Chain A
Amino acid sequence: MKKTWVFFIGTLLLMAIVCCSGFAAAKTKMVVWTYMEGQTQIDTLNWMFKTYNESQSESEIVLQYVPFADFKKQLSVGMVAGKLPDLVVIDNPDHAAYAQMGLFADLTKYIAKWPERKAYFPGPWKSTTLNGKNYGIPFTSNCLALFYNQEMLKKAGVTPPQTWSQLRVAAKKLTSPGVFGLGMAAVKSEEGTFQYLPWLLSSGAKIDQLGSKQSIQSLTVLADLVKDGSMPKEVINWTQADVEKQFAAGKLAMMVNGPWNIPEVKRDAPGLKWSVVKIPRDKVYSSVLGGENLGVVNGKNVAAAWKFLQFVGSPKLVKEYSVRFNMFPPRQDVAGDKTWSEDPVMSVFMDQMKYAMPRGPHPKWPEISNAMITALQEVLTQAKTPEQAAKDAQTKVDAVLK
């Protein structure tokens, strides 16, 4: 019996010695959580971390993948259980909510001394702040535009629509058996809200005016497309990836989608002739700002993590990873680069970026988002009239914002 104990304690000691000595000499290991998937994106992140790890001897950055569907849950559970990474690549509308919940470290004092802060676009920059404090830096940016099938438009004698009324006429003309004029994602999640926002913002409504006349019009224009048969009712179950597949298969003449789907369309339909224009407008051109931010988790490695953020935010690196990701740089000086300004498709997105509005930032964005997508689903399924759906959404948002 005694021997067993001695052996047991001895083993423990040995393990302790081996583990601790291993850490003492090594770099601080910092874990980054991301939901970015797809080989290109993972490769880019790994390349970025490797470059940084070899450039200094203080810390080592390690990637940890968490699926998008589980991401918010893992973070929330991690906060309660105390199992968190050191850095998070976060979807920009969620940044404020997590900052409010105390996940992210307040970086205001570091950022105030960082000259690069002035180079960022205001939209992405705003999404990293809450109540005047900084909780991270923008990482990637994207927005939405209208993709159209050039051959189909030519055959129907339609020019790419610029206004809502032109869109309704064009979509109807482009609809034929097996082909719908327009497709978008209206699935019941942040993705659906993301796709609905350009229409809402173009009408001149704000997110706290969901019951307004303008907001009702934005719901009506989309409901009319479904009523005309120009847009499939299935959009209420489509994610943006589903929309891309339909467009690539020639089942949609036009679709609303983002730049990250450009390589997907090229791969799924190599022979397809397509191009991009700005999303048709009501009063003003508008789009919605998508993309990721980098936040530092409250903990003992904040200073080391900030050094890594400075590295990520340098113009050279921003350009390099944006090209590899097929997304937009959140920095104005980099965005002027000919990679984006001279490419016929990318330049349209670049132009659209000017009108891209961030979602929120508001700590209760997820609830506001839910009110909006519910209203859209209600009108698309004809469960409610646009007036009624808008009124109910206003009631919900008022309760959230009070």
Chain B
Amino acid sequence: MKQDCNADQNQLTGFWFVLPALLFMAAFIGYPIVYNLILSFQDVGVMTLNNPVKEWVGYRNYLQLLGDPLLKTVLANTFYYTIACIVLQFSIGFALALLFNRSFRLAKSIRSLIMIAWLMPVTITGLIFKFIFSTNGGLINEFLLGLHWLSKPIEWLLQPSTAIWALIITNTWIGIPFNMILLITGLSTIPREVYESASIDGASPWQQFIHVTAPLLKPAIEAVLILGFIYTFKVFDLVYVMTKGGPVNATEVLSTFSYRLSFTEFSFSKGAAVANILFIVLFMVSLGYLRLIREEEGM
């Protein structure tokens, strides 16, 4: 009986500790999300912002967007960019993590140096890469021309097909250290004895990787992939700095498209609708991740 009382007391104390954070979240995260939802079902634009009553138009904004071929392009761009980035930065990051997990001289210092890419403000990185990719006199073209691997410069940021790859390469460069560090952390938690016993059993390094490293790293890998997806999918600054969504609409992604609709064309409701589409995708991914964690904890 007494114990019960204590447990209740504890629960209550815990609740008071959580309350400030809860209030903060509700005000600064919950409210904008709800406001954005309401906005996307109204008609708020240049002509109607001034009206005292905002007209409720139901799904009209969403239907108009779905009928717009541009939204399909934007969605395709966003997914293409995200998936390409994740595949590249994860595989390169993993390879580097395995390399730096061995102890050799300079391993620690090189590891810290690689982190610089992740720590630099994205705006700066974007500007630097904009120069690196420029057609005439850009570092990459000069290098390839100098080696005679190219006969004429590649118009990186000027062609729809290559512009998105310029962004993917830049974002991969930023994302590698993040993947590497998280995976190294995961690797360092695997006890050495497991590998020792595996090699005594005659497992080759490759078999060790497949049957020991990969399964034990599973939680870290899942976390890296999901977090990577969320970070990459909502990209804004990099695109805004390097291509502004151009040439034509080749690099327009959900976030820049939402920004453009709201703040250059003043179609606030449509901008909100695009932002909600972005939100829904990320929400689904997060839910999937939470389920994965729960299943694993339940095991």
B-binding residues in A (CB < 8 A): 72-73, 76, 79, 97, 100-102, 187-189, 232-234, 236-237, 363-364, 366-367, 370, 374, 377-378, 381, 383
Determine if A366 and B247 form an interchain contact, defined as CB atoms under 8 angstroms apart. Answer: no
B135 contact from A73, A233, A377, A383, Cβ within 8 A: A233
24 contacts between A and B (CB under 8 A): A72-B263, A76-B268, A97-B46, A101-B50, A102-B49, A187-B246, A189-B244, A234-B134, A234-B158, A237-B243, A237-B246, A237-B247, A366-B264, A366-B265, A367-B265, A370-B260, A374-B249, A377-B246, A377-B247, A377-B248, A378-B248, A381-B158, A381-B160, A383-B247
Chain B positions 245-270 with a Cβ under 8 Å from a chain A Cβ: 245-249, 260, 262-268
Contacts of A187 in B (CB 8 A): 244, 246
Determine if B46 and A100 form an interchain contact, defined as CB atoms under 8 angstroms apart. Answer: yes
Determine whether B159 belongs to the interface, using a CB cutoff of 8 Å to chain A: yes
- Per DSSP, chain B at the interface is loop
Contacts of B266 in A (CB 8 A): 76, 97, 101, 366
Please name 7 further chain A to chain B contacts, defined as beta carbons within 8 Å, in addition to the given A97-B46, A366-B265, sorted by A numbering. Answer: A73-B262, A76-B268, A102-B49, A188-B247, A233-B135, A374-B248, A374-B249
A-B contact count (CB 8 A): 71
With the chains together, A72 CA to B264 CA distance in Å?
7
Contacts of A364 in B (CB 8 A): 46-47
With the chains together, A188 CA to B245 CA distance in Å?
8
Q: Which residue of A lies closest to B262 (CB)?
A: A76
Contacts of A234 in B (CB 8 A): 134-136, 158
- Residue of B159, B245, B246 ringed by the most chain A CB atoms within 10 A: B246
Chain B window 7-37, contacts with chain A (Cβ cutoff 8 Å), 1 for yes, 0 for no: 0000000000000000000000000000000
B244 contact from A76, A79, A188, A383, Cβ within 8 A: A188
Q: How far is the CB of B104 from chain A (nearest CB, A)?
A: 43
- Residue of A234, A237, A363, A370 ringed by the most chain B CB atoms within 10 A: A237
Determine if A370 and B134 form an interchain contact, defined as CB atoms under 8 angstroms apart. Answer: no
Determine if A233 and B46 form an interchain contact, defined as CB atoms under 8 angstroms apart. Answer: no
A363 contact from B47, B134, B247, B260, Cβ within 8 A: B47
Q: How far is the CB of B165 from chain A (nearest CB, A)?
A: 15
Which 4 pairs from chain A and chain B are nearest by CB?
A: A102-B50, A101-B49, A73-B263, A188-B246
Chain B positions 155-169 with a Cβ under 8 Å from a chain A Cβ: 155, 157-160
Contacts of A363 in B (CB 8 A): 46-47
Determine if A100 and B248 form an interchain contact, defined as CB atoms under 8 angstroms apart. Answer: no
With the chains together, A377 CA to B159 CA distance in Å?
11
Chain B positions 225-249 with a Cβ under 8 Å from a chain A Cβ: 243-249
Contacts of A97 in B (CB 8 A): 46, 266
With the chains together, A398 CA to B111 CA distance in Å?
57
